[in-house]
Amino acid sequence: MTATPETPVRLTQFAHGGGCACKIPPGELEDMLGGLATALPSPGNAPLLVGLATGDDAAVVTLPAPEGAAAQAMVSTADFFTPVVDDPYDWGRIAAANALSDVYAMGGRPLLAVNLLAWPRDLLPFDLAREVLRGGLEIAAEAGCHVGGGHSVDDPEPKYGMAVTGLADPARLLRNDAGRPGLPLSLTKPLGLGVLNNRHKATGERFEQAVATMVALNRDASEAALASGASCATDVTGFGLLGHLHKLARASGVTAVVDTAAVPWLDGARQAVRDGYVSGGTRRNLEWVAPFTDFGDTDPDTRLLLADAQTSGGLLVAGEIPGAPVIGELLPRGPHSVVLR
């Protein structure tokens, strides 16, 4: 497929998957990474506060501080994916917001980003790539984050994202292993991004509510979580709510109970499921979490939506924050890591 002036470019048609739904499935990823966390040598410099062990959203190291100065930690992450929407400017904005989200999910402030761009130079014009980069620059500027160049490769499939470095207070991190029984669970963005994006890829229909949700920064949610005294959070992206909740509950040694009636959905999400616009990534997410989840009498469509592979989704916070619905709570560890009611 080659773009021509006479043929409107649909970026999603140049990718086998879209957005965070193109991630390596969580079960396969964990098998691949098994043993690496303990096999990594310690470089003996800045202490690693968060690494591979708990599968958190970003890596965190303590920075050396002059005597008497406040301690700081450096947060480092990278995220990129294939086109989730056809509009290149929107794709750039979404990918940048998604990459920055990992820093916010750790309670950090993004400071510097570099672009990661793969582009099929013989198939797609560079003016589209420029629009992708423009979208990323705009979101980084909104976040107060510098963009200092990046790296590009010629690739048969377009991909874009960012590697992001941020700063955080090491005593006030948001971690996925800090949950404890008795805490409520809050979700800061509605679910359904995956099925709406999959419908967009298949039909070309544009869903403004999905784009607006994906380009919204998780900055305010992160700041609100810290202000409330929360210490446990994660963002909801490619492994779906159930996948990220399972990882949080497993790392924290608790069971997460979800009130399915309290979970917010994007307009059109349930219809998209009924019409069959469910990605393979979402189905793999559901298969992965099934052994760890008590589904109760939850209907099949709701199960799929709870496992829906989100792109640039919201924060899942162990605590209450203004404006975010409480969708469940953490309980002492039981037979399952996640229970649906």
* Residue from 310, 306, 242, 235 nearest 84 by CA: 310
Q: Which residue do the tokens 């040598």 mark?
A: 41
Q: Clarify whether 20 is annotated catalytic.
A: yes
8 Å CB contact between 161 and 95: yes
Query: Rounded to an integer, what distance in angstroms lies between the CA atom of residue 31 and that of residue 149?
Result: 34
Spatial separation of the C-alpha atoms in residues 193 and 207, rounded to whole Å = 10
Instruction: Residue 155: count other Cβ atoms within 10 Å of its Cβ.
Output: 12
Q: What is the DSSP code string of 184-224? A: EEEESS-B-HHHHHHHHHHH----HHHHHHHHS-SHHHHHH
* Cβ-contact 339, 255 below 8 angstroms: yes
* Bridge partners, residue 116, by sequence: 151, 161
Question: What is the distance between the alpha carbons of residues 93 and 112, in angstroms, rounded to a whole number?
Answer: 16
- How far, in Å, CA of 298 to CA of 89, rounded? 38
Query: What is residue 251's three-state secondary structure?
Result: helix
Q: Which of 20, 22, 145, 232 is catalytic?
A: 20
Q: Hey, which residues are catalytic here?
A: 20
